[in-house]
Amino acid sequence: MATTTTQTHPLFAIPLSSITDFTELASYCESIADALPEAHDTTLKMALCGRLNTCLTVLQPTLLDPVPEHLVESLTVDTLPADSPQLAPDCTALCSYGMALAQTLMQQGLPPETEQQLTGLLSELINYFAAEMKAPRWLRTEQGVVNIEPAVYWQSCVLP
pLDDT digits (tens, 9 = 90+) for 70-122: 999 999 999 988 888 888 888 999 999 999 999 999 998 999 999 999 999 99
Residue 151, pLDDT score? 41
Flag whether 27 is in a domain: yes
Do residues 118 and 104 touch, judged by C-beta distance below 8 A? yes
Looking at residues 15-39, what average pLDDT do you find?
91
Instruction: Give phi and psi for 135, each to the nearest 5.
Output: -70, 145
Residue 5 included in any domain:
no
> What is d(CA 78, CA 85) in angstroms, rounded to the nearest whole number?
18
Question: Does residue 60 lie in a domain region?
Answer: yes
**Residue 132 neighbours by CB under 8 Å, 6+ apart:** 91, 94, 154
Residue 27 domain boundaries = 10-64
pTM: 0.72
d(CA 59, CA 51): 12
Is residue 153 a contact partner of residue 90, using CB atoms and an 8 Å limit? yes
**Contacts of 102 by beta carbon, 8 Å cutoff, 6+ apart:** 122
Whether the predicted pLDDT of 155 surpasses 50 = no
Residues 14 and 32 sit within 8 Å (Cβ to Cβ): no
32 in a structural domain: yes
